[in-house]
Amino acid sequence: MNIKNKSLLKSAVLAGTAAYLHLQNTWIQKTEYTIPVKNLAPENEGLKIVQLSDIHLPKEKVDLNKLIDMTKAADPDFIFLTGDQIQGDGTFDPLVAEKLFRKLTAIAPTYAITGNHDRHSPMFTIVLDLYKQTGIRFLDDEAISVLAKGRKPVVIMGLSDKSSAIRKIAKDFLKKIRLRKDWQGQTRLLLAHRPEHFLKYHIDPEKSADITFAGHAHGGQIRIPRLGGLYAPGQGQMPRHTEGVYLLPTDPEKKLVVSRGIGGSLFPFRINNRPEMVVVTLTNGSTSESLEI
C-alpha cells in the first residue's frame, strides 16, 4: 500500500471513529420495560413513567428538543428525574434548564431528586429555584401520595443523595422518609440516584418500594457485548448494576430500574452506550428483560 492510500485509509478510519462517537453520544435510545407490580390497583394498569437520569447540564450532548419530543410521544403519567440534572464542577445556563424543566412539566407531573453532582454544584440553589418556578416537585428525603388523571393514588418517595461518610454508617437509607398510615396499600415508587445501595433501600419493610428508579452508573461508560459496562462510580470495575431491571434477592416482587442516563461527566465519551430515555409501564401481568441482582 502506497503512502497516499495509507493516508486515505487513516483519514477514513478517523472519520468513521468520529462519526461513531458522535452518534453514540447524541443519538437517544428509548428503552421500554413493562414491570409487574404486586396488588397493583386495576385503575393503575398501564400507568407509565418516563425516567430521565444524569443529564449533566451543560455536558449533555443530546438535542434537548428531541428529548422533549420523545418524552411527549411516550405520553407518560409521571416523569422522574433521578439525579445529576446538572454537572457538579461546572456552570450551566439557567435559561436552558428553565426551558427544559417547563417543557417537561407541561407533559406530565415531574419529580426530581439530587445526585452527587447536584449536591456538589455551586449552582444548586439556582436549580432549586428553577424547580419551584417550573413546577417540578423536588423530593428531599420525603414521600408524597399523588394521583394521576383517571388513576388511583401511588406513593412517590425521593431519596436525597448522601455524603460518602453518611453512606458508610447508614443502615436504613430511608430513615428520614415518613409514610402516612392512610397510604397503606398504595404502590410505592422510589427515586434513588445510586443503584449500588439497592439492598439498603429495603431495610424497612414498611417503606420498601415496589420499584426503585436509579441512574449514576452511566451504563458503565464503555459497554462490551455480553460483558456489560467496564466502570461505574460507586461500583468500580465490571459493575453489576448499569442498565436494565434487577430483582431484589429476598423478594423478587421488588425491582430496581437502572438508567444509563443522558449526558456525560468526567469521562468525555460513551462507547457502545447511547444516551437513554427509560419508559416503564406498570402491569399486573408478566415482565421481560429482568436481571437478578
Listing from the earlier edge strand, what are the strands of the sheet with 142-146?
142-146, 154-158, 188-191, 211-214, 251-258, 244-248, 290-292
Q: In the structure grid, which three cell numbers stand for residue 205, read together?
A: 419493610
Distance, in Å, from the CA atom of 253 to the CA atom of 36, rounded to the nearest integer, reads 8
Place of cell 418516563: 50
CB 258 within 8 A of CB 215: yes
Per-residue CA distances from 134 to 59, 203, 274 (Å): 22, 34, 28
Domain tally for the chain? 1
**By residue range, what is the domain housing residue 203?**
3-292
Q: In the structure grid, which three cell numbers stand for residue 264, read together?
A: 456525560
CA neighbor of 262 nearest in space, from 280, 277, 242: 277
Q: With H, G, I as helix, E, B as strand and everything else as coil, classify residue 40.
A: coil
Counting Cα atoms < 13 Å in the Cβ hemisphere of 145 gives: 13
CB 119 within 8 A of CB 161: yes
**Average per-residue pLDDT in the chain?**
89
Q: With H, G, I as helix, E, B as strand and everything else as coil, classify residue 189.
A: strand
Q: What is the pLDDT along the chain (293 residues), one digit of tens a residue?
A: 666 555 655 555 455 555 556 666 788 999 999 999 999 999 999 999 999 999 999 999 999 999 999 999 999 999 999 999 999 888 999 999 999 999 999 999 999 999 999 988 999 999 999 999 999 999 999 999 999 989 999 999 999 998 775 677 677 889 999 999 999 999 999 999 999 999 999 999 999 999 999 999 988 888 888 788 888 888 889 888 999 999 999 999 999 999 999 988 776 678 788 999 999 999 997 654 555 45
Distance, in Å, from the CA atom of 143 to the CA atom of 67, rounded to the nearest integer, reads 27
Peptide bond into 275 cis (omega under 30): no
Output the domain CATH number for residue 26: 3.60.21
Q: What number of residues does the chain have?
A: 293
Per-residue CA distances from 42 to 38, 39, 45, 49, 193 (Å): 11, 9, 5, 17, 29
Question: What is the distance of C-alpha 218 from the center of its chain?
Answer: 9
Q: In the structure grid, which three cell numbers stand for residue 293, read together?
A: 441482582
Distance, in Å, from the CA atom of 193 to the CA atom of 261, rounded to the nearest integer, reads 11
CB 256 within 8 A of CB 239: no
